[in-house]
Structure 1
Amino acid sequence: MSVTGFIGRALLASIFIKNGLDHLQNPDPIVRAAKGAEIPAPELAVKVNSGVMVGAGSLLALGIAPGLASTALAVSLIPTTVIGHPFWDRQGKERQHQQTHFMKNLALFGALLAVGSRKG
């Protein structure tokens, strides 16, 4: 692995590790959003998703099973994006804010797909 590949992978993983730890330490806002989206067992869902972010993010950062780690993160990013950033039902600045985060998550999803599809 090149130095730039290592740095890029670590930087990509860092947002998942940080957010996963944040959500484990302060799950209430995320649990409320999951309840509002009628996710079954929202407390458990938030813990599992947060654990995936920390665990798979750490594996990705260390270069251990990067294909599997990036796939797990990409899968976890789908409900996070749809539930967490519903710009389509917001107005004004809140709509712009949520749309920006939605698009950021799409970019992260694309980066995870690229990292996961790399050979070697």
Structure 2
Amino acid sequence: MGVTGFIGRALLASIFIKNGLDHLQNPEPIVRAAKGAEVPEPEIAVRANSAVMLGAGAMLALGVAPRFATTALAASLIPTTVIGHPFWDKSGKERMHQQSQFLKNLALFGALLAVGSRK
């Protein structure tokens, strides 16, 4: 992989690494959202998801098992997106904000699929 591929992987990974660290250091808001969505064992689920984001993000940034890393990150985005950005339950500016975040996560999901499918 060339320099641009390395930079692209690192940039894509950066949001997962940052959010994984943030959520491990301050899990309460995410745990509240998980409780509201009736996720079983929300504290454990949030910590596990955060650890996946941090670990798989670092793996992706370093180019270690990138297919595994992108698969893990894509899988972690599904509950994160559906639980964290329920724009369909909102109105006005909050709906617009949550919809933008939902679509951003869909774009990240697509980027992970594209990076993970490269040979």
Same structural fold, with TM-score higher than 0.5 when normalized by the shorter chain: yes
Alignment of 1:68-83 (within 5 A): 68-83=68-83
Given the alignment of the two structures, is residue 106 of structure 1 paired with residue 106 of structure 2, yes or no?
A: yes
> What CA RMSD, in Å, does the superposition of the two structures yield over aligned residues?
0.3
Equivalent residue for 2:59?
59
Work out the CA distance in 2 between the residues paired with 1:2 and 1:112: 18
Q: What amino acid is aligned across from residue 118 of structure 1 in structure 2?
A: R
SS at match of 2:39: coil
Runs of 4+ in 1 over 6 A off after TM superposition: none
Q: How far has the Cα of 1:27 moved from its partner? A: 0.2
Count the aligned residue pairs.
119
Tell me the alpha carbon deviations over residues 41-92 of structure 1, each in whole angstroms, 9 at most, x when there is no partner: 0000000000000000000000000000000000000000000000001000
Work out the CA distance in 2 between the residues paired with 1:2 and 1:102: 31
Work out the CA distance in 1 between the residues paired with 2:106 and 2:68: 19
**Structure 2 gaps, min length 5:** none
Alignment of 1:23-38 (within 5 A): 23-38=23-38
Tell me the alpha carbon deviations over residues 80-109 of structure 1, each in whole angstroms, 9 at most, x when there is no partner: 000000000100000000000000000000
Given the alignment of the two structures, is residue 7 of structure 1 paired with residue 7 of structure 2, yes or no?
A: yes
State the TM-score, normalized to the length of structure 2.
Answer: 1.00
**Structure 1 gaps, min length 5:** none
Work out the CA distance in 2 between the residues paired with 1:2 and 1:93: 42
Q: How far has the Cα of 1:22 moved from its partner? A: 0.1
Q: What amino acid is aligned across from residue 20 of structure 1 in structure 2?
A: G
Report % sequence identity: 82
